Structure 1
Amino acid sequence: MSYFLSYCKAHCTAVLTQYQTLRSEGFLCDILLKVKENEFPAHKSLLACSSDYFRALFKSYTQESKASVIHLQVVSPTGLQHILDFIYTSLLPLSFESLEDTLEAASYLQVTDAIGLCNQYLVNNLALENCCFSANVARKFYLPDALVATEKYIVNNLWKLLDLDLAGLLELNFRSLLVVVESPDLPMVKETHLLNLVLLWLKQDKSRLAYASSLLEHIRYGLIPVEELRKTYTQSEVPLSAGIKCLIIKAINYHTSVFKQPVLQDKSTTLRNQKTRIILLGGGMASEGFITDVVAFDVYNHKWRVLTQVQDRVQNHSVCVVGNFLYVLGGEIESGAPSDPKTEKTLSVTNKVHRYDPRFNTWTQIMGMLEKRCQFSCCVLGEDVFAIGGRGEDGSLHSSVEVYSIRRDRWTKARELPCKIHGHASAICKNTIYISGGKYTDRDSTSKDLYSLSSLEGPWMKQAPMSIARFGHQMATIREAIFTFLGLYEPFSEIERYDPGLNQWTRLRPLIYDRFCYGLAVVEETALLIGGKKWQNSREVPTQDVVGYDIDNDGWEEICKAPLPWCGLQCAVLQLSELADEQDSESQQKRPPHC
């Protein structure tokens, strides 16, 4: 005998609809729920099907199983009304005004589907005006999805909340506030404002003082100006534990050890919400002269913004990065008013060294090099900055090498090069310095030579030469190999890779056209060439192209266009954090008052 099962979608809805009718008529209601003076007639069978609480309550072995009236002490009339409406209709009325009552009833009565709807309601309706309340509700009733969503929303929008809902932030529960101050991804909030928020939150209620150390230990004191640190240490209305005072003293010592700062980096001096940016500085445009702006390039979104201005209008300089500080060394600096075309501009070779701190967007002039240099190279080995070769003020070339000790703030002489040289390039690979190419004093032709230095005391060792002589070129280390890119007047636009282990060069895919006087940076193992010049119709022509070299595919890709036809620039990679005052002026922002 054969048979089949047929399913009627309408039947379930019809049964629930009939239960609604029975409830409205008061027909066959076999239980009365009472909350204070409010009475709610209902059907045991439907309650037991929808609520684990009622299912257990109506078991035959309980006293309540025979009772006709049940008094509910925990839930509110509004909350119970909403949950009963949901049980009978599958529709749950939700609003922020009654949400806690509804969740209280749903949690107590163990109506899990209603709890799920409340959780989703919080996630779907997050806004600046309710996110702090939502976080408190999600934490109170343990709604995991809503809790993650609300705390992430608060972290991402704290810079707005400081203006628009400071009162809400001050009512935030401890655990959610802890998530905020622990977050490494907190965007556009100055650490001073975060500290003031925590101090205000602690002052709201004496019982909160027990959480003071747990919150304050996550403040990054190295990102707070020293004047604010001293004020907090001496004048805070919130009692500070010995541990927190030690953190503040450590940060004050960091600020007073100005020259050592790049080698004193830790979590407390690391910017939150760090984004990798390529920094462009120095050089200029053929038509308008030197460029004073320092520009940050977001290679992921192809966005450019002015970060600061150079201390001197400069070309043929060198740059390097230590501890997320940018050093600008030497070069030819321009004198004369840049805005006055009548003023004669002169170039002079300098030994100046300036250091840029992205934490405070400030420049510091540090100890100058022993010799004035341009068309030289610099590189970083450990905690030391090397300045190698180059051209001096009177046009004479250097064979000298000098080393800047960051901890000692001092330049000292190092092992000299085998010959005087300028226009060369350098790179670090496996703790060894390599320099290539350039021009010597006694030769007019460009060099193919490669030298290495593996220790301060050791000699410069000659290695396998490049296959192409280069001058004014650049080098970069990627995956423990050295890549050499184009220099001035190279007819075939070819690049090479050097394997230090094999002491061997390999030619790679050339660029489509030649390029020189460009900026070079490496981001995620992609070498990017920015701006520069090329030959076109027997003339030097500036280019705004940004091209990237993919080492896996040995191929070139055009990334985007630079905002200016920029040449003679130098590039470096820094980790930057956007601040709210880049979006709005400081005068428009209201911040927590100082504590």
Structure 2
Amino acid sequence: MDSYSLLYSSSQRTGLLSGFQRLRSQRKMCDVVLEAGGVSFPCHRALLASSSEYFWALFGETTSERLASSISLPALTSQGLDTILDFLYSSWLSVSPSTLPAVLEAARYLQVEPAVSICERFITDGLSAENCCCYANLAEHHALSDALEAANQTIAMEMGTLLRESRDDLLSLNIQSLMAILDADEIPGVQEVDLIRLALDWLNENGPLPLLKSNLLLSRLRFGLVAPSDLTKLSLAHRAMATPLIRSQLTRAMEYHRLGSTQPIRQTRQSTLRASPNRVLLVGGGSSPDWPEQQILAFDPRSRKFSSLSSSLPLRLRNHCVCSVGGFLFVIGGEEVKEGDEDGKKSVTMATSNQVWRYDPRFDRWEKVESMLEMRTQFTCCVVEEVIYAIGGQHTLPDTNAHTSLASVEFYDMATGAWRRGAAMPRPLCGHASTVLDNCIYVSGGLPSNHSSIHGSNHGDNPDEHRESSRDVLFWDTKGRVWERRASMSIARFGHRLATVHGHIYALLGRYEPFCDIEQYDSQSDHWTRLRPLLIGSFNYGMVSMPCGNLLVFGGRRWSDGQEVIVRSVLEYDTKKDRWREICQLPRPLTGTECTLLPLPD
């Protein structure tokens, strides 16, 4: 058998379409005329049938139209048909926002799927606050699922602007889109009460709807995010709010507001903020270690920008602890710093606190909850299964400036709103760190026993005290009664941090550690491994573990040319690559801050 080559010419395909286009423009060899909107379009039956499922069926052997010389298409506009015919003859589709509805209608009617796909991409790429509602209705009408999803997301993100400037567009939205938007977990800058009013206005504009549909729409609203006084007014605002299903949701929302201390552990979708991914809260700290600020900074990991929380800390604190449970921020213990006046001279006083404050970002509200059983500073806290544990630390002895260290552990029972005793550590400890792995608590380092000469944030500033820091690691299964020892760290640490990432524990930085060592603990082998050190270390910094597994370190203090310097750097540690880098800078130097993740309304 002779060999042969199979060669392809792209110009032949282009030339074929160009030839048909030339014949069409010259009205030569056309064997059918299409009519729409009073305009006639001479065409070639073979090209139409090969390019469109509609025409393939229309010109089939058994249809009456197969031999017709003229075919009327009353469902289409002349503009839409002309554009689609140009596409079939040239592969170029001319479309603009004003012509899109007619072109898409013609493409869908004539089953020209490539043109439909181009229109869908045009919608998706061109979405804005000005057109998202119109495009959502268009995408829903023509079953363009990707464009519909993109349009709904744009409406949710632009809702604040739309409510102010284009409310009529929202009221003309199709119900599928409105339900999808009210299901969204992120609607920036919009209060839930405004969404409820929008839904009720939409029902007035588009109703009456069957009971099932109105229930489906209203049940997507989060009544737990509305203040009780507004809930009472809204319950009387529309007859759709009086259905048994919606009445029951309103009742549950009112009950949620009466839960008190149990709110964080009784969260449902109805009371969950429509918020962007968690922000990092930087609570307390300041440009001076002796005068902390009450302002709270919020860091957005996506934009790497800082903003200030509208509410400030109720107290001026240092050496406190923070954590989040159920979308609430808890600020626990520490030293309350006050400005005094003795004999006409201004002075700063500090007193160890056992106070606990809870911040609710839903209503931008602080509330003082049950105080700890003991006053604590230089302690650590962690959360296990929505229970807050406060571990060790120091408190000030009455009528003295001396501190005594604590071995005690207590936990906050939110079901009763009370603190209870937990298993005490084997010995008193302060300046230690803690983390949670597999619902068990690990505590490392710190200064053991009592050190009555140690004061405030200067605790550990004496290099001689480094020799007394501990390498020990303690382990506690909170269901048990005793603490157990685990493999010690490779170096003694004080004022450091622990973090759990992907099943491993990381010990970071501290005070007076050589080469700023980082080490990783494997609980399976009970072994610590040294990692790449941070060449220029710091202490008194804030740290948080991100969902991706990276660790962020905010500010702190370091020594430079024999002087203590407060820094503005924000460092990121990639635990997978064992790599440090600076990702941005704080708005101002900051030391002594405590960090946690919390969803915030935009």
TM-score, length-scaled by structure 2: 0.84
Shift, 1:107, TM fit: 3.7
1:455 and 2:478 aligned: yes
1:123-522 to 2 correspondences below 5 Å: 123-210=124-211, 211-286=213-288, 289-307=291-309, 308-336=311-339, 343-394=346-397, 395-442=403-450, 445-455=468-478, 458-522=481-545
Contact 2:20 2:89 (C-alpha < 8 Å) held by counterparts? no
The range that moved more, 203-212 or 249-258, is 203-212
For 1:577 and 1:253, the matched residues in 2 are separated by 22
| Unmatched 5+ stretches in structure 1 | 579-595
The range that moved more, 457-466 or 564-573, is 457-466
CA 1:113–1:403 in 2, change beyond 3 Å: closer, same or farther? closer
CA 1:519–1:70 in 2, change beyond 3 Å: closer, same or farther? closer
Residue aligning to 1:559: 583
For 2:567 and 2:157, the matched residues in 1 are separated by 38
Contact 2:24 2:30 (C-alpha < 8 Å) held by counterparts? no
For 1:529 and 1:102, the matched residues in 2 are separated by 54
Shift, 1:111, TM fit: 4.6
Shift, 1:202, TM fit: 1.3
Shift, 1:21, TM fit: 2.6
RMSD: 3.3
Q: What one-letter code is carried by the residue in structure 1 that aligns with 2:26?
A: T
Contact 2:358 2:368 (C-alpha < 8 Å) held by counterparts? yes
Q: What one-letter code is carried by the residue in structure 2 that aligns with 1:137?
A: L
Say which SS state the counterpart of residue 334 (structure 1) adopts.
strand
1:524-539 to 2 correspondences below 5 Å: 524-539=548-563
Contact 2:24 2:42 (C-alpha < 8 Å) held by counterparts? no
The range that moved more, 85-94 or 417-426, is 85-94
Q: What one-letter code is carried by the residue in structure 2 that aligns with 1:42?
A: P
Say which SS state the counterpart of residue 139 (structure 1) adopts.
helix
For 1:18 and 1:428, the matched residues in 2 are separated by 76
Contact 1:203 1:238 (C-alpha < 8 Å) held by counterparts? no
For 1:28 and 1:499, the matched residues in 2 are separated by 80
The range that moved more, 277-286 or 481-490, is 481-490
Q: What one-letter code is carried by the residue in structure 1 that aligns with 2:576?
A: D
The range that moved more, 53-62 or 365-374, is 53-62
Contact 1:213 1:240 (C-alpha < 8 Å) held by counterparts? no
CA 1:540–1:79 in 2, change beyond 3 Å: closer, same or farther? closer
Say which SS state the counterpart of residue 284 (structure 1) adopts.
coil
For 1:230 and 1:204, the matched residues in 2 are separated by 23
Can you list the C-alpha shifts for 1:241-263, whole angstroms capped at 9, x where unaligned? 32222222222212211211111
Q: What one-letter code is carried by the residue in structure 2 that aligns with 1:406?
A: M
Contact 1:151 1:179 (C-alpha < 8 Å) held by counterparts? yes
Say which SS state the counterpart of residue 370 (structure 1) adopts.
coil
Shift, 1:543, TM fit: 2.1
Residue aligning to 1:582: none
The range that moved more, 477-486 or 113-122, is 113-122
Residue aligning to 1:17: 22
For 1:135 and 1:380, the matched residues in 2 are separated by 43
CA 1:410–1:20 in 2, change beyond 3 Å: closer, same or farther? same
For 2:48 and 2:437, the matched residues in 1 are separated by 73
Shift, 1:369, TM fit: 1.0
For 2:186 and 2:472, the matched residues in 1 are separated by 46
Q: What one-letter code is carried by the residue in structure 2 that aligns with 1:527?
A: L
Contact 1:212 1:240 (C-alpha < 8 Å) held by counterparts? no
Residue aligning to 1:593: none
Q: What one-letter code is carried by the residue in structure 1 that aligns with 2:387?
A: D
Contact 2:23 2:29 (C-alpha < 8 Å) held by counterparts? no
Contact 1:415 1:456 (C-alpha < 8 Å) held by counterparts? no
Task: Provide the identity percentage.
Answer: 36
For 2:437 and 2:51, the matched residues in 1 are separated by 68
Say which SS state the counterpart of residue 152 (structure 1) adopts.
helix
For 1:288 and 1:451, the matched residues in 2 are separated by 31
Shift, 1:317, TM fit: 0.8
Shift, 1:352, TM fit: 0.8
Residue aligning to 2:457: none
For 1:143 and 1:459, the matched residues in 2 are separated by 61
For 1:87 and 1:467, the matched residues in 2 are separated by 73
For 1:109 and 1:442, the matched residues in 2 are separated by 85
Residue aligning to 1:543: 567
For 1:428 and 1:19, the matched residues in 2 are separated by 75
The range that moved more, 500-509 or 223-232, is 500-509
Shift, 1:434, TM fit: 2.5
Can you list the C-alpha shifts for 1:371-395, whole angstroms capped at 9, x where unaligned? 2111111122223222222221322
| Unmatched 5+ stretches in structure 2 | 398-402, 452-464
Shift, 1:105, TM fit: 4.2
For 2:471 and 2:292, the matched residues in 1 are separated by 31
For 2:490 and 2:94, the matched residues in 1 are separated by 77
Shift, 1:425, TM fit: 2.0
CA 1:336–1:95 in 2, change beyond 3 Å: closer, same or farther? same
For 1:285 and 1:300, the matched residues in 2 are separated by 25
TM-score, length-scaled by structure 1: 0.85
Residue aligning to 2:596: 572
Shift, 1:217, TM fit: 1.9
Can you list the C-alpha shifts for 1:126-174, whole angstroms capped at 9, x where unaligned? 3333322222122222334433433333233222212221111111111
Q: What one-letter code is carried by the residue in structure 2 that aligns with 1:321?
A: S
The range that moved more, 7-16 or 180-189, is 7-16
Contact 1:496 1:506 (C-alpha < 8 Å) held by counterparts? yes
For 1:77 and 1:545, the matched residues in 2 are separated by 63
Can you list the C-alpha shifts for 1:347-378, whole angstroms capped at 9, x where unaligned? 11111111122333322211111221111111
CA 1:363–1:77 in 2, change beyond 3 Å: closer, same or farther? same
CA 1:48–1:424 in 2, change beyond 3 Å: closer, same or farther? closer
The range that moved more, 102-111 or 186-195, is 102-111
Shift, 1:282, TM fit: 1.6
Contact 1:32 1:39 (C-alpha < 8 Å) held by counterparts? no
Contact 1:20 1:88 (C-alpha < 8 Å) held by counterparts? no
Say which SS state the counterpart of residue 173 (structure 2) adopts.
coil
1:52-67 to 2 correspondences below 5 Å: 52-59=53-60, 61-65=62-66, 67=68
For 2:448 and 2:83, the matched residues in 1 are separated by 87
Shift, 1:509, TM fit: 3.3
Shift, 1:514, TM fit: 3.7
CA 1:233–1:537 in 2, change beyond 3 Å: closer, same or farther? same
Q: What one-letter code is carried by the residue in structure 2 that aligns with 1:522?
A: S
Residue aligning to 2:456: none
Can you list the C-alpha shifts for 1:260-284, whole angstroms capped at 9, x where unaligned? 1111123223333432322111222
Q: What one-letter code is carried by the residue in structure 2 that aligns with 1:435?
A: V
Say which SS state the counterpart of residue 511 (structure 1) adopts.
coil
CA 1:175–1:343 in 2, change beyond 3 Å: closer, same or farther? same
Say which SS state the counterpart of residue 336 (structure 1) adopts.
strand
